[in-house]
Amino acid sequence: MFSLEIPGLAQRKDDIPALVEYFSSLHKKPLSFTVEGMEYLKGYSWPGNIRELRNLIDRLSILTDTPVIDKPTLARFLSYTTSRKASS
């Protein structure tokens, strides 16, 4: 038996755009993210890892009126209390 270490999403920030695109493509209303919105996602700590990201995309797809997701929209859905500050 051996142990396999898989880094969390917080250590794999470069994977976030591809994961966002994939999870978004699973919905009838695909989402697109502004540059600031994507940076906001990369600045989040992701304590729930990929599951939290997928749940966020699911909620955004259902609850937002626009397919373009920006930083203010994300701020309403993500709590930055446990995260480091996103770049302004």
Is residue 39 predicted with pLDDT exceeding 60?
Answer: yes
**Percentage of the residues of the chain whose pLDDT score is greater than 70:** 90
**pTM score, whole prediction:** 0.83
Higher pLDDT, 39 or 84: 39
pLDDT at 29 over 90: no
Alpha helices in 1-88 (DSSP H): 16-25, 35-43, 49-63, 71-77
